[in-house]
């Protein structure tokens, strides 16, 4: 009973407004970094400002990670996932700069998004099909670009701590495959066709999802042929 009351209390405190405010604050802080990277005014103390803003971004990410961990333990991820999906395009838009995509907090963004995909992919929460498709299509290119960027820095800098480790990579790949495999065949085909057109489709590896799609497409075609044969035979007998 104590656990239930705790869950109710946390659910009341972790409302949509709190989550939205934290994600909006993260978005604002990233915007500030982007603005300073593009500012040529030498009179502005950029180094000091960038350090302060970078700390704000890291604090926002830490706060969101804490919220996400609490909600996932209580099976209350719906509000977080909804708000993350709403802000996804804007977050990615302000991290398109090469300097931002290879920065230390890009890994934190990936970790948070991985938790969101995990919640949706394994059926821990219900989300409309169109929203699920949009969420996956939004973040796939980010993973595709960011992982090689982080790996490249890691290969050049000994002890670079912000690479995606094997466990994280496998966890995100598993969530993506689970999420993708639950889509209608047409949506799967669109995403897989885009994946196969990538110049280097090493990560995420969607080979398993492709094999599942091939099997289901073949099965669906077989059922269609059987259905048409039955209709044809019934017409002849009439």
pTM: 0.78
CA angle 98, 99, 104 (to 5 degrees): 120
Q: Quick check: 14 pLDDT over 70?
A: no
Mean pLDDT of the residues in the chain: 77
What is the per-residue pLDDT across 98-109, written as a single tens digit (0 to 9) for each? 566 666 788 889
Cβ-Cβ contacts under 8 Å for 169 (sequence gap 6 or more): 147, 203, 204
Are the CB atoms for 98 and 144 separated by under 8 Å? no
Q: Quick check: 206 pLDDT over 70?
A: yes
Q: Quick check: 177 pLDDT over 80?
A: yes
What is the per-residue pLDDT across 44-71, written as a single tens digit (0 to 9) for each? 444 434 455 567 778 888 888 888 888 8
pLDDT of 198? 80
Of 200, 163, 194, 197, the C-alpha closest to 180 is 194
Q: Quick check: 94 pLDDT over 90?
A: no
Domain range annotation of the chain: 2-237
Percent of the chain scoring above 90 in pLDDT: 33
pLDDT of 174? 96
Q: Show the DSSP H helices in the chain as ranges.
A: 2-13, 16-37, 46-73, 78-93, 98-101, 106-121, 129-156, 166-181, 185-197, 207-237
- Per-residue pLDDT band for 181 (boundaries 50, 70, 90) equals very high
């Amino acid at each position: 009973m104590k656990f239930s009351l705790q869950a109710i209390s946390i659910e009341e405190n972790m409302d949509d407004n709190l989550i939205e405010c934290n994600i909006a604050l993260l978005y604002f802080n990233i915007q500030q970094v982007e603005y300073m990277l593009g500012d040529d005014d030498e009179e502005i103390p950029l180094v000091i400002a960038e350090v302060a803003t970078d700390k704000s971004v890291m604090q926002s990410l830490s706060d969101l990670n804490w919220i996400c961990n609490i909600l996932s333990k209580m099976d209350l991820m719906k509000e977080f996932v909804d708000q993350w999906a709403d802000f996804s395009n804007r977050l990615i838009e302000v991290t398109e700069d090469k300097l931002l995509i290879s920065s230390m907090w890009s890994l934190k963004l990936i970790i948070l998004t991985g938790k969101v995909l995990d919640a949706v992919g394994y059926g821990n929460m219900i989300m409309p099909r169109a929203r699920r498709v949009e969420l996956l299509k939004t973040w796939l290119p980010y993973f595709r670009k960011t992982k090689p960027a982080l790996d490249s820095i890691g290969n050049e800098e000994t002890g670079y701590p912000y690479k995606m480790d094997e466990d994280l990579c496998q966890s995100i790949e598993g969530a993506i495959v689970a999420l993708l495999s639950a889509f209608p065949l047409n949506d799967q085909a669109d995403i897989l066709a885009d994946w196969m057109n990538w110049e280097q489709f090493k990560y995420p590896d969607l080979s398993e999802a492709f094999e599942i799609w091939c099997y289901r497409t073949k099965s669906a075609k077989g059922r269609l042929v059987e259905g048409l044969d039955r209709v044809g035979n019934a017409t002849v007998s009439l």
